[in-house]
Amino acid sequence: MMRARISTLVLAVGVGLVVATTVAAQVRTREKIDFAITGEITAVNSAEKTLTLESTNDKGLVYSVNDSTTLMSGGAKVTFGDLRRGMNVVANGHDDGQTRLITYLKVTKAP
């Protein structure tokens, strides 16, 4: 009877260690942070598909654009090649800690 209790206790401790190790081993993923910005395009890099935007709070942050980004001017879609320095824009997207990806951009005023 004493052996059964010791065996049960050893088994319970072993299971507890396995569960604790599994829980501790879970990888944390960084969440994307949404952003919204209103500002002026100060630079366009066509090779890297990036825009540098300057707003009231941010001076010269670089934002990426990809093929899924919606680019608008007025009520019409535009291409990345249509964007110019000096345009005022509103944009929103995601910041994953390494890249600020614009998902939607609308030109509000051309230079």
Condensed to tens digits (0 to 9), the pLDDT of residues 78-100 reads: 999 999 999 999 999 999 889 99
Would you say the pTM of this structure is higher than 0.75?
no
pLDDT of residue 57: 85
CA atoms within 13 A on the CB side of 89: 30
86: nearest Cα among 63, 109, 103 = 109
- CATH class of the 33-109 domain in this structure: mainly beta
